[in-house]
Structure 1
Amino acid sequence: MKVAGGALLALLAAPVAILIVIAGLLTTAGASPTAGESGLRGVPPEFEPWIRRAVAECDQPELSPALMAAQLHQESGFSTARSTVSWAGAKGPAQFVPDTWTTWGRDIDGKHGADPYDVADAVMAQGRYMCSLLKDAKAAGYHDDARRLALAGYNAGWGTVIHYRGVPPIEFANGETFRYVKAIMAMLDDFAGPPALNVSGSGAGADALRRAAARIGTPYSYGGGGPGGPGLGFCDDGNGFLRGRCAASTTTGFDCSSLVQYAYWPHTQLPRTAAAQYQATSHRPITRGQLRPGDLLFWAHRDGSIYHVGLYAGDGRVLHAPRTGRSVELVPLDSAMPAGDYRGATRA
């Protein structure tokens, strides 16, 4: 990020605040965003889960893991060194100047306060800021790719984008923003890996699984989420707490049953809780040998009460929202929950 913000005239009069290493004059080509795009490759392992989480928490499908990764590469080369500071004072892997960090930076992992050098804090702030800029870009109605417009706003400030009614021309700031946007868009394919889950076929089950797969990486939030997507949760009876604090009330995400409800909505309007979903579908039991993608999998306590639900993802795997502190994930069925608690499967 180059510019901290401020008045439009200041943005246009001042040089852009970060020295960017440009990867050459590359084409502006980049695949159009696809809902649920989740493939990612070529990023340091400490960055990947936070990139996925930032994307999952954004309601703008244009924000893909590949877009965030390409932007991080362009900003800093994924550097977390304390020496990663521009001459204008922009810091960390996502290159936040102090004023902008004050707006978007938060302490995500509870380490040492909001820190632009901390991977979690920096990537999540980058995601929140880009998500907001994408909304601005689409609301503006300019005839350009919303991703290009958001990147220009991140680099030069949204006021500059408004002034030029699009990505600033090469004459602005010695071409820095123009080349910044061009380079990132050209790198998308370099960071776009295969989807976390390829779902073939059609029908309600496959469609539900495909929709849920787009939410891999979304945080678990007890009581959070519903048909419209992830949402804030709440705490009760010991649920939703993490390390002694109510994490659910500040976490935008899904719990196990809201993810399943979201996946099937509106084709099949399942009830909200795992127990109610079992009751609504138990007249269509499915043996393990009959499982198809999208079937509902249930786990129960010894007294028979249902406490967990997930979606069968094929090849002996389940896609589910496991518990507080974790995220929507794809795991082997037998390790998703205690094997002895597996109650059975139904078809919605």
Structure 2
Amino acid sequence: MGVAAAIGGIVQGADMPDAAEEFAMQQIHAVADQAAAVDVTIDDYIELLPEHSREPARRAVDTAAETAQSAVAPFLPSPVIAVPPDPGIGESLPGAFTEPEVVWSAEESAVAESTVPESIRRAAGVVASNVAAGPMPIGSIAVFVPWFTKAGGICEGITAPVLAALYSVENGFRHGATSPVSPAGARGPGQFMPATWARYGKDADGDGKVDVLGVADSVMASGNLLCDTYSQIDQWKAEGVVSGDTLDLTLAAYNAGVGAVREFGGMPRGSDDYENQTRPYVAKIRASEERFTSILRLLQNDSGDVGVRIVQAAVRYLGLPYVWGGGSVKGPSSGGFDCSGLTSYAVYDATAGFILPRTSETQWNVGVEVPLSDARPGDLLFGNWGSGGPGHVAIYLGNGQMVHAPTTGDVVRIAPIFENMKARRVVS
């Protein structure tokens, strides 16, 4: 693990010839492949111990792994972390940024009104408490959900899933000091231009400041702006001034300005900006709207169902980088999760103590297999089959979707299930 981390850090931080970089990456994969076998061997040995000794042994192994990573870390260059992609679309956003340490306060998500379901407040609170322990990319949807819910009730035309889809496209749910500034000067998670923010920015969470970089103020400003625009476009349609789907045109106006919609009598067209930015922007939001409907429904579910709780635990970390060997029952480590680290954490958190083995191969031996057609949210999905068993594990969301930590260079995301995956119910 230490060798792979060191080589990886050097590759990320050095300007080396392509041939040298390719050789280094081959060494990383070779070390990683060997380490996976060692990991399986350790798990096998632990299973041979008396039952009362297994959990202390697992904790000792986790502690040793984290100690090794901490020992290597001071000698590595700062990693370059890809911009968190849209978890509802499965496509990476352009560009990259280096994420500094960010500490979220629990109060940031506690300002939601009491009508917001406890599951949402709990999700945001757990993210806040975990992040306080160390650096973490800003990319979690959880802290936004109470405000999407509230802003989605301002008017009939703008719903919480629409807002969630828009924010995923605008900024990948990033907020605070690391929120990127667009070339045109738009800022914050809602990407507001100064003049628009001066009109719509309000102190929505009662913290005494109007913060374009914050969650609450930005989301509520977006909700009010979109609702005003939606109403204006409806009026123009009634007057015969514009034509087209009202929501499509409202989203286009958020990107290109309502004046452009009025000028073209509908969807802006012709220029490169309109054809290559505004139209794909609208299409991407509308295409992911249904997926975010499912995500928000799961996060808002207070049924107490253990499968739903497993999903909720995993979805809190959308946008967190994949880290080989990362994660345990205690949460992310070294800044992220690998596939089985995410499932280990989510199941443990949802059950208040059920511990899975640490690898996808050994997790396959827990619980009972169920037909994929009978899989329920929270069941584990296994794929990438080889001679030693499954090489990947994910968590089923429903409707052919899963949440997983895919691979190096990627992040925790929602994606369609792989071909030939098998389902297993590890808890019921």
Question: What TM-score range do you get, normalising by the shorter chain?
Answer: 0.3 to 0.5
The one of the two structures with greater contact order (alpha-carbon pairs below 8 A, sep at least 6) is 1
Higher helix share: 2
